């Protein structure tokens, strides 16, 4: 989906997402010392808001101005507007200003493999020494279980693939396919998987 399509989706009356932070973010970040966080593909802002509520100073990126407006309104309602900078940018053009973030996180950004590798390299470059990169996406095996996914395998990745691109200077703390319950196109429950990469920059 391009920027216009995401704007149209976020322009609908009902929220697109639940308003709750992603469970993997909560599980992986709880217990870390808060600092500066960068979130890529922030959507309606639930993850950035959760981070801000837990003491992080957040920069949140997305190319949907409509999504970001929703996110900023939600942050203001929850009293954390001052802790989040919302940045309207296309991640395909975004470059890091240096390794200034203690946490860089992105959930469910699905790009073709060539731009994806470039974007994740730019995100990794934004992690400070001692900081962490958390990348979560729908696992390629989801294409086999009948859930609603775009039918292009190039849009999906494993945690191991993202880890391999990091190269030296990183400790991979987790690289896994985490199971959870999803909904089959015909309505019943199925087990799906998330690719979860957590790595610490040394
Ligand atoms: C599936 S949503 C995930 C939103 C959020 N991370 C979450 O988990 O709820 C993907 C998000 O990526 C954003 N996005 C997709 N391609 C992008 C790009 N090239 N640059 C910036 N944002 C992009 C979309 O606007 C959308 O908000």
- At 100-117, the pLDDT tens digits run 999 999 999 999 999 999
Q: What is the distance in A from the centroid of ligand 1 to the CA of 115?
A: 14
Q: Which two tokens stand for residue 63?
A: 């190319």
Q: Map residue 174 onto helix, strand or coil.
A: strand
Query: Does residue 108 have its Cβ closer than 6 Å to ligand 1?
Result: yes
Q: What is the distance in A from the centroid of ligand 1 to the CA of 42?
A: 6
* DSSP one-letter code for 43: T
Contact yes or no for 84/29 (Cβ under 8 A): no
**Best mutation site among 7, 8, 26, 41 for ligand 1, i.e. most ligand atoms within 8 A of its Cβ?**
41
Residue entry with tokens 């060539």: 114
Query: Does residue 94 have its Cβ closer than 6 Å to ligand 1?
Result: no
- The span from the CA of 97 to the CA of 21, in Å, is 26
User: pLDDT tens-digit profile of 67-108?
Assistant: 999 999 999 999 999 999 999 999 999 999 999 999 999 999
The answer to whether the predicted template modeling score (pTM) of the entire model surpasses 0.85 is yes
User: pLDDT tens-digit profile of 38-47?
Assistant: 999 999 999 9
The confidence score (pLDDT) of residue 116 equals 98
The confidence score (pLDDT) of residue 76 equals 98
The confidence score (pLDDT) of residue 167 equals 85
Query: Does residue 41 have its Cβ closer than 6 Å to ligand 1?
Result: yes
User: pLDDT tens-digit profile of 141-195?
Assistant: 999 999 999 999 999 999 999 999 998 999 999 999 999 999 999 999 999 999 9
Query: Does residue 63 have its Cβ closer than 6 Å to ligand 1?
Result: yes
What order do you get walking across the sheet with 189-201 strand by strand?
Answer: 84-88, 57-62, 36-40, 101-107, 127-138, 189-201, 170-183
Q: What is the distance in A from the centroid of ligand 1 to the CA of 191?
A: 23
């Amino acid at each position: 989906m391009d920027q216009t399509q995401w704007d149209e989706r976020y322009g609908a009356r009902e929220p697109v997402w639940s308003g709750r932070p992603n469970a993997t973010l909560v599980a992986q970040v709880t217990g870390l010392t808060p600092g500066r966080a960068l979130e890529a593909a922030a959507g309606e802002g639930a993850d950035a808001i959760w981070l801000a509520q837990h003491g992080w100073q957040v920069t949140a990126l997305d190319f949907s101005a409509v999504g970001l407006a929703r996110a900023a309104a939600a942050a203001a309602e929850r009293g954390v507007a001052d802790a989040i900078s919302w940045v309207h940018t296309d991640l395909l053009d975004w470059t890091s200003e240096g390794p200034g973030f203690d946490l860089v996180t992105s959930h469910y950004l699905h790009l073709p493999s060539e731009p994806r590798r470039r974007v994740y390299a730019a995100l990794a470059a934004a992690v400070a020494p001692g900081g962490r990169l958390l990348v979560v996406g729908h696992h390629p095996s989801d294409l086999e279980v009948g859930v609603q996914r775009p039918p292009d395998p190039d849009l999906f990745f494993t945690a191991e693939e993202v880890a391999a691109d990091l190269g030296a200077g990183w400790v991979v703390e987790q690289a896994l396919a985490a199971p959870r319950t999803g909904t089959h196109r015909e309505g019943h429950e199925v087990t799906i998987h998330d690719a979860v990469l957590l790595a610490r920059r040394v």
